[in-house]
A and B are shown apart, each in its own frame.
Chain A
Amino acid sequence: MKTPFSLLLASFLCLASLGSHASDIAERIKPCEACHGNQGRAGPDGYYPRLAGKPASYLYNQMENFSQGRRRYTMMRRMMEPLSPQYQHEIADYFASLQVPYLPPSVKTTAPSTAQMMRGKQLALQGDSSLNIPACNSCHGDKLMGNSANVPSLLGMPAAYLGAQLSAWSQGDRTTIAPDCMADIAKRLTADDAAAVTGWLSAQPIPQKTTAIKTARTDSHVRCGSAPELHGAMK
């Protein structure tokens, strides 16, 4: 009799504290919304990436990367450096838990040519084995919506942001825990290929149903330090 009651009480208390925490954390993450938009759904100028619904570990890794100098951006470093890992986890979990509507695809001033779109689609869905570039969907999920652990979605972000990330990766301004698989790939992409694939990705609609994909690989060879669940991807 005693145990079920205390269990019930415990779960009630847990729910109550979660409830108060949730309302409180919404106030505490106000600084993030200045750039990442209301509830982190995307930035007001279409540049800053969406945080809502991204994998919690991915978001946390980025916060750590910014505070520890692996990813260089003054504003984010200044925001994240003072915060403890526990608080960063809490903020990451909060944004990961938000299921809010996507903004419509960003408007581009110059539409990519058909040939560019074809090349972008090819890179995203098939890769280019002659250049040793794997398809985006070999790691970022068959619908390019990431997975629930460490791999972010690639859709719903503007070409400018995606392009800036590929460029930062190839220049070493964005790095992650070694081995840094995205740095390797970005360095093999030509400027034209980077423009093609980011142009195609940013033009794609968001799939209606985005169930979290599981990436099951059998090869034990570690390729991505930041996403252990991908061991063996990108042959």
Chain B
Amino acid sequence: MKSCSLTCKWLAAIVLSALLGLSAWVTWDNWGRFVVTADAAPADTLPAQQALARGEYLAHIGGCIACHTNKGGAPLAGGRGIDTPFGAVFSSNLTPSQTHGLGTWTATDFQNALHWGRSRDGRLLLPVFPYNHTSVFTSQDVQSIFAWLQTVTPVDNEQPAHRLTWPLGTQPVIAVWRSLFFNPTPFKENANESAEWNRGAYLVQSAGHCAACHGQRNTLGSFPAVDDLSGGFLSPQMWLAPSLIDASQTTIANSTVNDTADLLRIGQSHSAHASGPMAEFVQHSGQYLTQADALAIARYLKSKSKADTPSSTSRSLHMATSSPAAQTLYQTHCASCHGKNGEGKPHAYPALAGNPAVVLTQPENLIQMALYGGYGPSTEGRPRPFGMPPYLFTLDNQQIADVLNHIRSQWGNQAPAVSPIQVDHVRAASY
């Protein structure tokens, strides 16, 4: 075998030491701080009863209960499967079970998990748990959640193994990923804004974890910035989370804060209905918001929602047009509820004319509704929602595209055309 020349040896040494240096940095970045100092849990200044109430409230509105409860399973005992573009992961058991839950955890352990994404045994947690958002929580709120979790009924339910392709989910991969994409971001108050605005900002960035869906991720599934509300796409589910800063994509800018608060708590306002993953948010989290907190969120979001310059991409796309066949489909299947002129019925069926959700450039949400229809969530403000029939079996891809192109081109609506292949992609999604 030919021996390496001097230059080659030097190169190898440089590459090797660079790799070693990088590994050392990644290791220090992820575990180093625990060698130096472990965060001591602060003394909780809230009286015990108040802390429990706040903890339960935050666990509801933060979606802890939603994600950590399996369908038909015991509350917070984990095991719920969450589909990600990288495979299915299963939530952990948050009950105070000694064997499989948080029974042996201390408040400091819990704070490390929420603020640093690190488990009690030192393992780095999978970033499906949105610890960029939980790092925003004040220590007092973290302690309140922990105090309440310790009072729920313990269930000895083991967390199922994740279904990720090796090496995804291994500690070195999570460590590198974290060094690239995770920085704890404790909440920074904006002194120029009101207390209500700051409360809204805090909730959006912490418990609400709105950016988890409404923020942008790269192909490695990076954490969006906690205040990135520029819109995202949930690819396994095939639902679009519209941009909350582009005023044309939602009703936030043009409706009152009361309307937006209604959407969050009831699932329905004068001008908008929550559906898909947003309806799940309302069902499991939003409906538990106090009116004051919902209004604070609405006010913060309204301050972020700005009229955008029309993007050149949407202009260059082929625009939707109607046809006599599409007109007939609309009259046959849609008009009895949504009205002859897409005006809808108050408190029951949303208007299609002038509805931002109807004219989103990406049509996936509209296709989902046409295929599956369905009900919004039962909430205190709307215990018996009206629903929409599914057309999955009644209309084919071409017909769905036709009728959607009709509603995307009538009554002042203008949006890019929907193609049958786009309908087919949503049909094929597993959600």
A interface, CB within 8 angstroms of B: 27-31, 33-35, 45, 67-70, 74-75, 78-79, 81-84, 86-87, 90
**Residues of the B chain whose Cβ atoms lie less than 8 Å from the Cβ of A67:** 71
Known: A35-B393, A82-B283, A86-B378. 4 other contacts (CB 8 A): A31-B387, A78-B374, A82-B377, A83-B377
**Residues of the B chain whose Cβ atoms lie less than 8 Å from the Cβ of A33:** 389
Question: Do A34 and B384 touch (CB < 8 A)?
Answer: no
> Smallest CB–CB gap between B286 and chain A, Å?
12
Question: Do A87 and B383 touch (CB < 8 A)?
Answer: yes
**Residues of the B chain whose Cβ atoms lie less than 8 Å from the Cβ of A34:** 373, 389-391, 393-394
Beyond A28-B384, A68-B72, A70-B72, whether A82 also contacts B389 by CB under 8 A is no
Question: Do B386 and A27 touch (CB < 8 A)?
Answer: yes
Q: Which of B71, B280, B373, B384 contacts A31 (CB 8 A)?
A: B373
Q: Give 10 nearest A-B pairs by CB, closest first.
A: A68-B72, A34-B389, A84-B378, A69-B71, A31-B387, A82-B377, A31-B389, A68-B71, A87-B378, A82-B375
Q: Does B297 contact A (CB under 8 A)?
A: no
Chain B 257-299: CB-based contact to A (< 8 A → 1; otherwise 0):
0000000000000000000000110010000000000000000
Q: Does B107 contact A (CB under 8 A)?
A: no
- Which of chain B's residues 365-424 have a Cβ closer than 8 Å to chain A? 372-378, 383-394
* Complexed CA–CA distance, A70 and B73 (Å): 11
23 sampled A-B residue pairs with Cβ under 8 A = A28-B386, A31-B374, A31-B389, A31-B390, A33-B389, A34-B373, A34-B390, A67-B71, A69-B71, A69-B72, A74-B431, A75-B392, A78-B372, A78-B374, A79-B373, A79-B375, A81-B280, A81-B283, A82-B283, A82-B377, A83-B375, A83-B385, A87-B384
Question: Do A90 and B384 touch (CB < 8 A)?
Answer: yes
**Residues of the A chain whose Cβ atoms lie less than 8 Å from the Cβ of B385:** 28, 82-83, 87
**Residues of the B chain whose Cβ atoms lie less than 8 Å from the Cβ of A75:** 372, 390, 392
How many residues of chain B have a CB within 8 Å of chain A? 28
Question: Do A82 and B378 touch (CB < 8 A)?
Answer: yes
Question: Do A79 and B387 touch (CB < 8 A)?
Answer: yes
**Residues of the A chain whose Cβ atoms lie less than 8 Å from the Cβ of B377:** 82-83
Nearest opposing residue in chain B for A82, CB measure = B377
**Residues of the A chain whose Cβ atoms lie less than 8 Å from the Cβ of B279:** 82
Question: Do A31 and B375 touch (CB < 8 A)?
Answer: yes
* Complexed CA–CA distance, A27 and B72 (Å): 29
> Smallest CB–CB gap between B12 and chain A, Å?
55
B interface, CB within 8 angstroms of A: 70-72, 279-280, 283, 337, 372-378, 383-394, 430-431
Nearest opposing residue in chain A for B372, CB measure = A78
* Complexed CA–CA distance, A74 and B392 (Å): 12
* Complexed CA–CA distance, A70 and B70 (Å): 12
Question: Do B383 and A86 touch (CB < 8 A)?
Answer: yes
Question: Do B389 and A30 touch (CB < 8 A)?
Answer: yes
Nearest opposing residue in chain B for A86, CB measure = B383
Nearest opposing residue in chain A for B276, CB measure = A78
**Residues of the B chain whose Cβ atoms lie less than 8 Å from the Cβ of A31:** 373-375, 387-390
* Complexed CA–CA distance, A34 and B388 (Å): 9
**Residues of the B chain whose Cβ atoms lie less than 8 Å from the Cβ of A68:** 71-72
Nearest opposing residue in chain B for A90, CB measure = B384
Nearest opposing residue in chain A for B388, CB measure = A31
Nearest opposing residue in chain B for A175, CB measure = B72
* Complexed CA–CA distance, A30 and B391 (Å): 12
**Residues of the B chain whose Cβ atoms lie less than 8 Å from the Cβ of A35:** 390, 393
> Smallest CB–CB gap between A130 and chain B, Å?
36
Nearest opposing residue in chain B for A91, CB measure = B384
* Complexed CA–CA distance, A79 and B393 (Å): 15
Nearest opposing residue in chain A for B274, CB measure = A82
**Residues of the B chain whose Cβ atoms lie less than 8 Å from the Cβ of A30:** 337, 386-387, 389
* Complexed CA–CA distance, A87 and B283 (Å): 14
Nearest opposing residue in chain B for A85, CB measure = B378
**Residues of the B chain whose Cβ atoms lie less than 8 Å from the Cβ of A82:** 279-280, 283, 374-378, 385
* Complexed CA–CA distance, A67 and B72 (Å): 8
* Complexed CA–CA distance, A117 and B393 (Å): 32
> Smallest CB–CB gap between B87 and chain A, Å?
19
* Complexed CA–CA distance, A70 and B392 (Å): 23
* Complexed CA–CA distance, A95 and B102 (Å): 44
> Smallest CB–CB gap between B415 and chain A, Å?
25
* Complexed CA–CA distance, A29 and B375 (Å): 10
> Smallest CB–CB gap between B236 and chain A, Å?
13
> Smallest CB–CB gap between A74 and chain B, Å?
8
* Complexed CA–CA distance, A84 and B379 (Å): 8
Nearest opposing residue in chain B for A25, CB measure = B384
* Complexed CA–CA distance, A45 and B392 (Å): 14
> Smallest CB–CB gap between A165 and chain B, Å?
18
**Residues of the A chain whose Cβ atoms lie less than 8 Å from the Cβ of B72:** 68-70
* Complexed CA–CA distance, A79 and B392 (Å): 13
**Residues of the B chain whose Cβ atoms lie less than 8 Å from the Cβ of A27:** 386
**Residues of the A chain whose Cβ atoms lie less than 8 Å from the Cβ of B383:** 84, 86-87
**Residues of the A chain whose Cβ atoms lie less than 8 Å from the Cβ of B390:** 31, 34-35, 75, 79
> Smallest CB–CB gap between B74 and chain A, Å?
12
* Complexed CA–CA distance, A45 and B394 (Å): 10
**Residues of the A chain whose Cβ atoms lie less than 8 Å from the Cβ of B375:** 31, 79, 82-83
> Smallest CB–CB gap between A21 and chain B, Å?
9
* Complexed CA–CA distance, A81 and B376 (Å): 9
* Complexed CA–CA distance, A69 and B72 (Å): 7
**Residues of the B chain whose Cβ atoms lie less than 8 Å from the Cβ of A45:** 393
* Complexed CA–CA distance, A83 and B279 (Å): 11
* Complexed CA–CA distance, A81 and B431 (Å): 12
* Complexed CA–CA distance, A144 and B372 (Å): 33
* Complexed CA–CA distance, A31 and B70 (Å): 27
**Residues of the B chain whose Cβ atoms lie less than 8 Å from the Cβ of A78:** 372, 374, 431
**Residues of the A chain whose Cβ atoms lie less than 8 Å from the Cβ of B386:** 27-28, 30
**Residues of the A chain whose Cβ atoms lie less than 8 Å from the Cβ of B431:** 74, 78
Question: Do B71 and A79 touch (CB < 8 A)?
Answer: no
> Smallest CB–CB gap between A31 and chain B, Å?
4
Which of B71, B280, B384 counts the most chain A CB atoms within 10 A?
B384
**Residues of the A chain whose Cβ atoms lie less than 8 Å from the Cβ of B71:** 67-69
